């Protein structure tokens, strides 16, 4: 926090004090959250993503209210919170997937390696090659397994020779733990695989363009427990070389895979802390109410 500019440091200070404001424990929904106040440790040294005072609105409806957060290099951070709290909307700002929604307006500062994500000259294609995404529902293209993984490298021109492409496909599938299952059926249609395999294929597809950050929007919500376990294992392995932001409804999942956890509530970022701290001794009353299942 020492590299922060004074105004933000002051704000962070206030946030620390914010935890001491007494909150009526029996009526957590009535708690008034002051805008831009986040308890815990939202900021880290040398962040991959530096997000300051980010607000997102759909027309006149403000979905994200003045959120400031750092996402560290090669860290896994999970976003949790009740439905409609804006965690997916916030995630989609990170690689500008909200661009296709005409009424969506993003304000504030979003820096990826100190470069403005929403700069007018920023090429969104280049951004998405660096910040990949995995979606809630497995969405492989109705093409062969090989073509699914090879699509990204092909459009970005990452492989000049067929042998290079083959190598990228194999490596990506290996990293996604799908190689052994898929190596004999690379030419069969991807939509014929099981849901868990499809999701791991989507992860392989995202890895194939060698992104720096991977955004995952509830990647396991459509999968059974065994497939979920495999994907989680994969996320843990990937955390060595990628920055991963994962939105999840499952608190166990957040606890298992992530180093830090951010709790969102009605468009506010309420608390960010080390994952075990969030789940064992949350600082904010709302966080505690949510993780103890009083609402959600």
Partner 1 sequence: MSDQSAQAEIVRNSLKRRYRKERRFRLYGILAIFIALASLFILFADIIGKGHTGFVKTTITLEVVLDSELMYLDDPTDADQRSMADFSAPIIAALQEHFPEADSAGEKRELGRLIGTYAASEIRDLLIAKPDLLNSTQSIEFPAHDRVSVYVKHPDNSQYSIKLSEQQQRWVDELLEKGVIDTSFNDVLFSRGDSREPANAGVLGAIVGSLLTMLVTLAIAFPVGVAAAVYLEEFAPQNKITDFIEVNINNLAAVPSIIFGLLGLAVFIGLFGMPRSVPVLGGMVLALMTLPTIIISSRAAIKSVPPSIREAAEGIGASKMQVVLHHVVPLAMPGMLTGSIIGMAQALGETAPLLLIGMVAFIVDVPGGFLDSATVLPVQIYLWASSSEQGFVELASAAIMVLLTFMIIMNALAIWLRKRLERRW
Binding residues vs partner 1 (CB under 8 A): 95, 97, 100, 102, 125-129, 132-135, 137, 139-142, 151-152, 155-156, 191, 202, 205-206, 209
Q: For partner 1, give the closer residue by CB, 84 or 142.
A: 142
Smallest gap from residue 133 Cβ to partner 1 (A): 4
Q: For partner 1, give the closer residue by CB, 1 or 101.
A: 101
Is residue 255 within 8 Å of residue 88, measured between CB atoms?
Answer: no
How distant, in Å, are the alpha carbons of 58, 225, 268, 282 from that of 86? 11, 26, 8, 20
Smallest gap from residue 155 Cβ to partner 1 (A): 6
Residue 256's CB: how many other CB atoms inside 10 A? 17
> Which strand ranges, in their side-by-side order, compose the sheet holding 260-265?
39-40, 268-274, 260-265, 76-80, 243-247, 213-217, 131-134
> Is residue 250 classed as helix, strand or coil in its secondary structure?
coil
Smallest gap from residue 35 Cβ to partner 1 (A): 30
Smallest gap from residue 282 Cβ to partner 1 (A): 32
Q: For partner 1, give the closer residue by CB, 191 or 239.
A: 191
Q: For partner 1, give the closer residue by CB, 28 or 153.
A: 153
Q: Which residues are within 8 A (CB) of 22 and not within 5 positions of it... i.e. 6 or more apart?
A: none
Smallest gap from residue 219 Cβ to partner 1 (A): 12
Any idea what DSSP says for residue 33?
Answer: P
Q: For partner 1, give the closer residue by CB, 73 or 156.
A: 156
Distance CA 31, CA 38 (A): 14
């Amino acid at each position: 926090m020492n590299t922060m500019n004074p105004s933000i440091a002051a704000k962070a200070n206030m946030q620390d004090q914010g935890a001491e404001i007494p909150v009526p424990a029996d009526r957590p929904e009535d708690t008034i959250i002051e805008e831009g106040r986040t308890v815990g440790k939202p900021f880290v040294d040398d962040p991959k993503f530096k997000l300051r005072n980010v607000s997102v609105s759909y027309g006149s409806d403000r979905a994200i209210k003045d959120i400031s957060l750092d996402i560290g290099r090669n860290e896994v951070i999970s976003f949790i919170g009740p439905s409609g709290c804006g965690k997916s909307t916030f995630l989609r700002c990170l690689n500008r997937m909200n661009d296709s929604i005409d009424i969506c307006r993003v304000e504030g500062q979003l820096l990826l390696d100190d470069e403005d994500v929403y700069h007018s000259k920023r090429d969104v294609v280049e951004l998405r090659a660096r910040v990949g995404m995995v979606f809630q529902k497995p969405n492989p293209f109705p093409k062969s397994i090989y073509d699914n993984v090879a699509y990204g490298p092909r459009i970005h021109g990452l492989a000049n020779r067929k042998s290079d492409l083959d190598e990228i496909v194999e490596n990506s599938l290996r990293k996604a733990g799908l190689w052994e299952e898929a190596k004999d059926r690379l030419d069969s249609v991807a939509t014929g695989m099981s849901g868990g395999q499809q999701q791991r294929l989507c992860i392989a597809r995202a890895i194939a363009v060698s992104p720096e950050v991977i955004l995952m929007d509830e990647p396991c919500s459509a999968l059974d427990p065994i497939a979920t376990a495999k994907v989680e294992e994969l996320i843990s392995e990937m955390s060595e070389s990628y920055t991963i932001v994962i939105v999840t409804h499952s608190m166990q999942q957040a606890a298992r895979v992530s180093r830090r956890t951010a709790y969102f509530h009605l468009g506010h970022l309420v608390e960010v802390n080390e994952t075990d701290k969030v789940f064992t001794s949350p600082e904010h009353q709302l966080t505690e109410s949510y993780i103890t299942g009083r609402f959600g």
